[in-house]
Structure 1
Amino acid sequence: MNRVEYAFLSCHSLSTHANVLLVRDALGRPKQCPYGDAIRATLSPQTQRRADRTHMRDQANLGIGPLASHAWGLRTREWALSTAESLNSAHDWNHQRALDTARAALNGLGLNFGTTANTAYLTKVMVFAPENAGQALAKIINDHQEELDTWIAAADTAKAAADAVKVKAKKKLKGKTEADPGDDEEAPAAEAKAKADVPPMPSKIKKKLIAALAPADAIDISLYGRFLTEIATGGNVDGAIQTITAIGIEPINITEDYFSAADDRKIARQRQGTDFTSALALLNAVDPTLSSDAEDDLPLGDNRGAGMTGYQPFVSATFYAHSVLDRNLLRRNLRNSGTPEAEIEPAARAAEQAFLDAFVYAVPSAKKNTSAAPGTLPKLVLVHEGKRAYNYAACFEEAVQPAAGAPSIQGAKRLLRHHAMITRKEGISPGAVLTYDLAISEYIDDLRLTGELGPIEVHSPEELAAPFTAMQPA
């Protein structure tokens, strides 16, 4: 096995967002945390990772980029529904039988389902598996339907008996008195025995179903990993990508945006003006014997005010984001997933290039229609490699103060100075830098002229990987 000597690819970025709500807390407000000497706006790692992963997948689905020919995974609670759809369409199963059998089969693997009508066929946890897993599960179930039917019937009978013992134990406990304490261990023991009588799924079928859910050639599972505790042998994967909570480099700045939404019918009446003739005719038609309350009930349109008003919090900030790719772990994940040896290195390099593209371009899409946040380009991206990962969040422990100038410009200068110090002390590769900001570009030019620019300046995400490919095994 070839190992990459400079195993860790550390990526840093500064991105400025104006009046956005990319991620919110339980109260609907921008997420924040105390760090250093100020409260900062934050973007949770899962928000960033989903944006990166979906960006890579969307590009591949359009036939764009290095991962266009690779398989992908799906993270969902709907594997029973997906399996049932395949049983129905590909194997001509009755829809309800397909649903019940798929649910029972996945439950036999250890996956638990919801207990309400809306969640009965949804697993309690999301399962990250290859996108074609539903079709693979359906084929296995169809091939072994007689054995599964027999097992399901026996399991249902045993579960019904266990439930009956549980109900009986509860009734007995409810009716227990001090004069008749009973045996406290009797009910739990009986319930445990009843549960133990539930037959396990036939091992050969179980192994095949688990194999269908295994990571296989889903490239994003090798990159981001998965954690599946419900199935003991389900194939947990340590992710090759680490991501920090992105932090605002300046003190948090939240705007409580008051909004008013117009009612189209009210606006139409306002534009037409008041028709006094129609209003007089309506008043003359009122029955004078009606009470004043009845007159109040007449369906007269009210032209006053907005249709709806409220407040929406937004945040403006320059975020420092950091992710690191463990190249050797990525290659190990690909190997463990069954990727042929000759394809591991090309796949790993393609995944690295796609990851860098996503790190530059992917933006969380929350509130995109009212903020256009996905159109934001980063102010600065710095990428370098080493034998360990390097996280530069500490250089923003002292918050950047807007009174001293644009936070993004201050942040870029501070980040590059910090990197120069780490490069000098650790002896690591200076890497490459990419900017989409004119002021920062001029600062980089000044550093180049004075011989102080360590990283190579590049002009696209594709070029970010170029300085490193020569250092990887051929």
Structure 2
Amino acid sequence: MDRFLCLTSLTTHCAVLLVRGAHGEPKQIPFGNATRTMVTAPALRRPQRMHMRDQANTGEGALAGYSFGTRTREWARITADELTLLGWEKQQAADMAKAALSRVGLAFGTTDTTRDLTKVLIFAPEDAGKNIAQTIDQHRSAMQEWLHTVLTAQEEHERQKKDNKGKSKTEAAADDKPRLPPLPARVKEAILTALAPADAIDIALFGRFLAEIAESPNVDGAVQTTAAITVGPAQHTDDFFSAADDAKILRRTCPRQATDAFDILTTANATPHREATENTSPTNGSGMTGYQALTSGTFCAVTVLDRVRLRSNLQAAGTAEHDAEIAAVAAEKALIDAFCTAVPTAKATTTAAPGVLPKFVLAFTANRPYNYLGCFEEAITEDGTPEPASIQATRRLLDHHTMISRKRGLQPGRVLTYDLAITTLLDNLRNSGTLTVTEVDTPEGLHPDHPAPTTRDLSEQPA
């Protein structure tokens, strides 16, 4: 088995804003002879991870039935909700959940809105909150007594802080933190087990770093993702928008009927002036106006999966070798499908790219990662050629892969397209005998273990 599965895609977007900078602008990066529009790696990884999880939760896809993780700051709230389902009083459940997680090393916010939220996102198995709550409930009497001691110590600490107002900083610092009792050993061990990666398939794929708890294992991700960039120069426009004020428009189109002589008199005197003002107003009927940036272009994205690390992550979490192999193959197929399907949601209703599919996907395996973004160092333009950027980029990508394959001894790989023009391009290359890759019609067909179709099989497959 080759260690690395290399995936490269070309996706064309029009009038979108998939990821923004701090001031709402499209992210850019200088590369080669032009500045490009960029979609960052985290903006690509999360929709892929969520696509896999959503598919599995609905019983679809290769990972149906597998466990996933949840990345959140709300583990204390989730645990408290589970405790209330077990019969705990709501406030006691909230205090218990926060105190228990604090004593294993998690730090919480200090403001009114964050005091029940951990300071960082914690990526843990989705059933961690339920398992923690069950552990606490199994030792209810001991944990309630422990919580009483913790709350008493915290109250005493607050009184000491008030008394320390007149002391020097050195004296006050000595009592800066309350002296809290440790968790019962069995409970702490169970909580650490609940927060461990376990069999969460997306943690094995994407990894996690949990510095707050030294005893909880970190996981080096098996998926390597680069930022996607446009194959041509950045193309941006500042789109002026106007949001209508429904009440204002309704008042103009359906004016209130006069009900008495005073209304008739004031309406008659005011109407000419009002009409003249509103008809010449630059914001006639609008509730707000502004600008939002939009961008277009063909983006090249690269993802590499370390297949060996994926299997070792699964086995390190306690999965038997045979089961880890089955799970790894399913995860590979699910990742390929997500790579071919998931798109950043951006502003889901205004600047997103719903339903967009990649125009071209290349998949191959090797014993080291390969990143082909460098072949677009010279930006592709459409000046002086009838071919759009996506077709030019496909030609260049195929030529680059053929050259690398020849010089590095790689397997040709497989390609998938959802574009009619690229389908014609592949047909022409195949007829001329210069197409070295195998074309498939489904994301599943890109997996190296999937039977490769013959030309006849491919033509008979549904589009």
- Aligned-residue offset at 1:202: 2.4
Match of 1:205 among 180, 187, 190: 187
How many residue pairs get matched? 445
Shift of residue 29, structure 1, vs aligned partner: 1.4
Question: What is the rounded CA distance, in whole Å, between the counterparts of 1:101 and 1:301 in structure 2?
Answer: 62
Alignment partner, residue 34 of structure 1: 30
**Matched residue, 1:214:** 196
In structure 1, what is the equivalent of residue 96 of structure 2?
101
Residue 434 of structure 1 aligns with which residue? 416
Question: What are the superposed Cα offsets for residues 130-168 of structure 1, whole Å, 9 maximum, x if unpaired?
Answer: 111111010111112333233334444555566666666
1:278 deviation in Å? 8.8
Q: CA deviation at 1:172?
A: 2.9
CA–CA distance in structure 2, aligned partners of residues 153 and 442 of structure 1: 73
1:351 aligns with 2:331: yes
The residue that corresponds to 1:55 in the other structure is 51
Provide the C-alpha distance between the structure 1 equivalents of 2:25 and 2:97, rounded to a whole number of angstroms: 40
Q: How far off its partner does 1:448 sit?
A: 1.6
Provide, for residues 352-379 of structure 1, a one-character-per-residue CA deviation record: whole Å limited to 9, x for no partner: 1111000001111113323561211111
1:377 — aligned with what? 357
Cα distance in 2 for partners of 1:435, 1:427 equals 25
Residue 142 of structure 2 corresponds to 147
User: What aligned pairs does 1:221-260 form with structure 2 within 5 A after superposition?
Assistant: 221-260=203-242
Counterpart residue type for residue 191 of structure 2:
L
What SS does the corresponding residue of 2:349 show, helix, strand or coil?
A: helix
Equivalent residue in structure 1 for 2:7, among 7, 11, 16: 11
Question: Which is further off, 277-286 or 356-365?
Answer: 277-286
- Counting only pairs closer than 5 Å after superposition, residues 378-417 of structure 1 correspond to structure 2 as 378-403=358-383, 404=385, 405-417=387-399
Letter in 2 for 1:460: T
- Determine the structure 1 residue equivalent to 2:108: 113
Correspondence 1:322 to 2:322 = no
Is the alpha carbon distance of 1:287 and 1:356 closer, same or farther for their aligned partners in structure 2, counting shifts above 3 Å? closer
- Residues 1:364 and 2:344 aligned together: yes
Q: Tell me the residue number matched to 1:181.
A: none
Superposed displacement of residue 463, structure 1: 0.6
Unmatched runs of 5 consecutive residues or more in structure 1: 175-183
Tell me how large the CA RMSD over aligned residues is: 3.1
Contact 2:346–2:352 (CA under 8 A) maintained in structure 1: no
Distance in 2, matches of 1:208 and 1:62, equals 30
Q: Which moved more, 1:143-152 or 1:13-22?
A: 143-152
**Secondary structure at 1:402 match in 2:** coil
Partners in 1 of 2:260 and 2:342 — Cα distance? 57
Q: Which amino acid aligns with 1:282?
A: D
Question: How far apart are residue 402 of structure 1 and its match?
Answer: 3.0
**CA positional deviation for 1:261:** 2.2
Structure 1 residues 250-259 or 441-450, which shifts more? 441-450
Distance 1:273 1:199 in 2: 70
Q: Identity of aligned pairs, percent?
A: 48
**Larger mean Cα displacement after TM superposition, 160-169 or 227-236:** 160-169
Q: Report whether the alignment pairs 1:284 with 2:256.
A: no
8 A Cα contact 2:11 2:359, kept in partner? yes
Tell me which residue corresponds to 2:461.
none
With 252-261 and 380-389 compared, the bigger mean Cα shift is at 252-261
**Aligned-pair CA distance for 1:244:** 0.5
Q: Structure 1 residues 456, 152: closer, same or farther in 2, change over 3 A?
A: same
How far apart, in 1, do the equivalents of 2:156 and 2:259 lie?
75
State the 1:466 CA deviation: 4.6
Matched, 1:311 2:307: no
Cα separation, 1, equivalents of 2:172 and 2:353: 59
Q: Does 1:261 align with 2:243?
A: yes
Could you tell me whether the CA contact under 8 Å between 1:266 and 1:302 is conserved in 2? no
User: What is the distance in 2 between the residues matched to 1:429 and 1:279?
Assistant: 87
Q: Name 2:321's counterpart in structure 1.
A: 341
Range 382-391 or range 329-338, more displaced: 329-338
Q: Quote the Cα distance in structure 1 between the aligned partners of 2:121 and 2:88.
A: 25
Instruction: Name the TM-score, length of structure 2 as normaliser.
Output: 0.88
Whether the 8 Å CA contact 1:434–1:457 is kept in 2: the answer is: yes
Contact 1:431–1:467 (8 Å) recurs in 2: no
Q: CA deviation at 1:342?
A: 2.9
Q: Deviations over 1:379-423 (max 9, x none)?
A: 110000001111111111221123244211111111111111110
Q: In structure 1, what residue type is equivalent to 2:285?
A: A
CA apart distance, 1:437? 1.4
- Counterpart Cα distance in 1 of 2:161 and 2:349: 52
Match of 1:180 in 2: none
Whether the 8 Å contact between 2:104 and 2:188 is mirrored in structure 1 is yes
Q: Distance in 2 between matches of 1:45 and 1:372?
A: 17
Partner-residue secondary structure (3-state), 1:375: coil
Q: Which amino acid aligns with 1:41?
A: T
Indicate the residue corresponding to 1:462 in structure 2.
Answer: 444
Q: Taking structure 1 as reference, are residues 37 and 167 closer, same or farther at Cα in structure 2, changes over 3 Å only? A: farther
| Equivalence for 2:401 | 419
Q: Comparing 136-145 with 255-264, which one deviates more in the overlay?
A: 255-264
Compute the TM-score of the two structures, normalised by the length of structure 1.
0.86
For 1:131 and 1:301, the matched residues in 2 are separated by 58
Going from structure 1 to structure 2, the CA distance change for 1:313 and 1:286 (only over 3 Å counts) comes to: closer
User: Residue 432 of structure 2: which of 447, 450, 457 is its match?
Assistant: 450
- Look up the match of 1:177: none
Range with greater deviation from structure 2 (13-22 or 234-243) = 234-243
Contact 2:344 2:352 in 1 (8 A): no
